[in-house]
Structure 1
């Protein structure tokens, strides 16, 4: 790579090109997962689609591996690449709400919290995740599930349109009427097909919910999990509960007498009529909790409730699965491994992906698993890099114990670098179509720093 080539590239960007020798380099290359430390050659901080086109063309023409960064939040660190080019979209953060059309146009550098802030003023929301620092791009392109998914579906089910820079540097718009095959692939196929420079979402009513954590001592976890299994089968779509096995964080606002206790938490989120009465009914059926903070709450506050517990730079190790049934045998394994959770912020969560998610068929979008009831994640998390090995051992041991009771695939955002077999299992019958579309839109696999779908021959 010649200096004059890099200087020319920098001169053709409206944004900033950061090199390894620049003082801004270490800050710009930092990822959400502190366990991942990559050193790209160049970081192009793009400010518009023209910059993205310039960056894609430069990377392709000079044979550089390309990583695309939106929020930089993902577990295996696909937002960066050693010795390659990072196309950093974090400067492209515009949000425009159209309250009449009930849509929101979102830049690819936005976090879900950026969008929540804008849409909340109109009493609307997009069904994103549960931590507001998550990037919209990575979350959406791999499906996107969260508090509103049982009522309104996945994030991709609200995606109307996307502007995309393809591997050849061309710019296209994808929707159900224009480049519809690309739109199908973007709805769950990850970052395999191009760089999205704008998302258009349909919004949905969500202003004040009744929600928050109801926390039980781990001794009651078996009772709570069996109750939760039965509840989920007939739950109304506007009543969402995720279940967690973890520890009470040792700090405010948690009562000091409960710090460090192993717990089973139900995080309730009701976005409908008579919400308090609905939650009261489940309170009456369950053992007495040690903490009950469920109550009226604004949707953005619910979305950002856990942000402070999980700041940028912690050590993370993820394992995920799709779960169709929660058997007594699986519950026993969960309880066995939850009892050995290694740090106060390590956890297992079960997120519901039924309700409105099941209203579409598996072939309607690239996201294939429309029959699962939950998306499970096991996360080992710590602030100390010395604990990385223990986090991996615990998460892998836990996953190996429960995986025989689960489906073969997982939510791509809950996977590390697990290989082609897991990617194929995740997309199931949709994989061959995705591979054909990869061959059409990215035949040389330029965009391969992701949960990669190889182009078919």
Structure 2
């Protein structure tokens, strides 16, 4: 049963109480107003600066035991708590004004060659596992950017260039160790606490803090082809015309090896189309798949040659590729997403681009480096797993549409967040209208549940849009593993105490 009490930010804790925590852990306890600014401020930094909050206490844990003791301290004093691994999120669940459990000092990775698994501490970033696996000619499945923390992308589902062959990041999770709300640390796998294992694969941090991940690895002894093909704005219509062709005749015929993302970038008042491509194979093979792009006549990006080249997989997910597209001063980001089934109506694509352009035009001095993404990668492997097999419910094969509105003025935070929501809401309505015109019923037409990719969102969407028909089970699990709702930063689910 619940014994829920209001949570506080820890500002009322005494020096003796803080010292008691220090005495129980090996890591450091950083207190606002006590630690020098050059120590405290860097610990607050996040990828999305819109969500930086001044935490009263930051605990730099160094071990699973540190995590356990810190959670017990949080429970004892009814503290607001956040978990920070990579700090690379759209919606800011890694920040809080109370106590932050910061895992940055827990980044050890070990590879078991015989079992073909990687064991990673909870503070690892994807890059840590990717590079460790590559040293043994194996690959780990993560997202498009390896600066993300393993914790967020794994428990959130996780989709990347290898997902066409191997599924979601969470589908490649073999086992985990999870620190629960009472401080206990338990194993989770298909054979141990299998309900918890179900929940952490798509349920985020709702059920605990993962201190250790064990990932399945995949043999690979070759580089991959990766590149960006940029086109003039005058070719926007032709780029849109390629979407269904690329997906049907190239992506789906590559056995998951070829992936394409359409990127429309605001460069001042002009929207420039491009395709980012990935092929898990030789350059000679890749040329066959990118031929439609070459036929369209790409232009050279400023200071770069046209097209792609062979490189290590971990180089394709290097954040430097993204950083080049996102100037550092524009580091406040509002993202949202939705999906539409293939073949995609060109009217829907044009409407999406039209609304995006209108948002840029409304804030020409503030949103002029924003991006609109159309993910054409193959989701068949993801969709082949039943939607109730894990907490992650969005197992669809449709086109993912995602918006990244970017600015640098904190005064515009609330306003542009609403603009991002309105953009995607308008696109969803266009999808619904298109489906009705073609005689497709609402059911299964992507106008109801699981209408977004939760890792590209602002965190305020309806829970049914994230968890779909899995929500009732999520509520029962919440009552079992976190009855007092300690973990409340990432799509927090209310516990169903009556069902326990």
Q: How many residues are treated as equivalent by the alignment?
A: 443
Q: Is the 8 A contact 1:92 1:108 kept in 2?
A: yes
Structure 2 partner of 1:52: 67
Q: Is the 8 A contact 2:259 2:378 kept in 1?
A: no
Structure 1 partner of 2:51: 36
Matches within 5 A, 1:300-311: 300-304=314-318, 305-310=321-326
Structure 1 partner of 2:354: 336
Structure 2 partner of 1:256: none
Q: Which runs of 5+ in 2 are unaligned?
A: 1-12, 301-305, 432-445
Q: Is the 8 A contact 1:321 1:407 kept in 2?
A: no
Q: Give the Å deviation of 1:391.
A: 4.0
| TM-score of the aligned structures, taking structure 1 as reference length | 0.91
CA RMSD of aligned residues (A): 2.2
Q: Distance in 1 between matches of 2:138 and 2:240?
A: 32
Q: Is the 8 A contact 2:329 2:408 kept in 1?
A: no
Structure 2 partner of 1:359: 384
Selected match of 1:10 from 19, 22, 37: 22
Matches within 5 A, 1:36-435: 36-82=51-97, 84-206=98-220, 207-234=222-249, 235=252, 236=254, 237-247=256-266, 261-272=270-281, 274-283=284-293, 286-291=295-300, 292-304=306-318, 305-310=321-326, 314-325=331-342, 326-340=344-358, 341=360, 342=364, 343-351=367-375, 352=377, 354-385=379-410, 388=413, 391-392=416-417, 394-404=419-429, 405=431, 406-408=446-448, 409-419=451-461, 422-435=462-475
Q: Distance in 2 between matches of 1:49 and 1:20?
A: 24
When residues 313 and 66 of structure 1 are mapped into structure 2, their CA distance, relative to the original with a 3 A threshold, is farther
Which stretch of structure 1 is more off in the superposition, 177-186 or 292-301? 292-301
Q: Give the Å deviation of 1:48.
A: 0.5
Q: Distance in 1 between matches of 2:81 and 2:414?
A: 29
SS at match of 1:306: helix
When residues 401 and 196 of structure 1 are mapped into structure 2, their CA distance, relative to the original with a 3 A threshold, is same
Q: Is the 8 A contact 2:271 2:357 kept in 1?
A: yes
Q: Is the 8 A contact 1:34 1:313 kept in 2?
A: no
Q: Is the 8 A contact 2:157 2:392 kept in 1?
A: yes
Q: Distance in 2 between matches of 1:53 and 1:42?
A: 16
SS at match of 1:368: coil
Q: Is the 8 A contact 1:243 1:264 kept in 2?
A: yes
Q: Is the 8 A contact 2:32 2:40 kept in 1?
A: yes
Deviations 1:316-340 (A, max 9, x none): 1111223334322211212213434
When residues 261 and 116 of structure 1 are mapped into structure 2, their CA distance, relative to the original with a 3 A threshold, is farther
SS at match of 1:173: strand
Deviations 1:135-160 (A, max 9, x none): 11101110001111111111011100
SS at match of 1:412: coil
SS at match of 1:162: strand
When residues 276 and 425 of structure 1 are mapped into structure 2, their CA distance, relative to the original with a 3 A threshold, is closer
Q: Is the 8 A contact 1:222 1:335 kept in 2?
A: no
SS at match of 1:339: helix
Q: Is the 8 A contact 1:320 1:376 kept in 2?
A: yes
| TM-score of the aligned structures, taking structure 2 as reference length | 0.83
Q: Give the Å deviation of 1:261.
A: 4.8
Q: Distance in 2 between matches of 1:387 and 1:353?
A: 36
Q: Give the Å deviation of 1:260.
A: 7.5
Structure 1 partner of 2:442: none
Q: Distance in 2 between matches of 1:312 and 1:141?
A: 30
Q: Give the Å deviation of 1:278.
A: 2.4
Runs (4+) of structure 1 exceeding 6 A deviation are none
Q: Give the Å deviation of 1:41.
A: 1.8
Q: Is the 8 A contact 2:144 2:160 kept in 1?
A: yes
Q: Is the 8 A contact 1:165 1:197 kept in 2?
A: yes
When residues 309 and 215 of structure 1 are mapped into structure 2, their CA distance, relative to the original with a 3 A threshold, is closer
Q: Is the 8 A contact 1:31 1:312 kept in 2?
A: no
Q: Is the 8 A contact 1:33 1:312 kept in 2?
A: no
SS at match of 2:276: strand
Q: Give the Å deviation of 1:7.
A: 0.8
Q: Distance in 2 between matches of 1:283 and 1:359?
A: 29
Q: Distance in 2 between matches of 1:323 and 1:440?
A: 35
Q: Distance in 2 between matches of 1:197 and 1:283?
A: 44
SS at match of 1:106: strand
Q: Distance in 2 between matches of 1:313 and 1:110?
A: 26
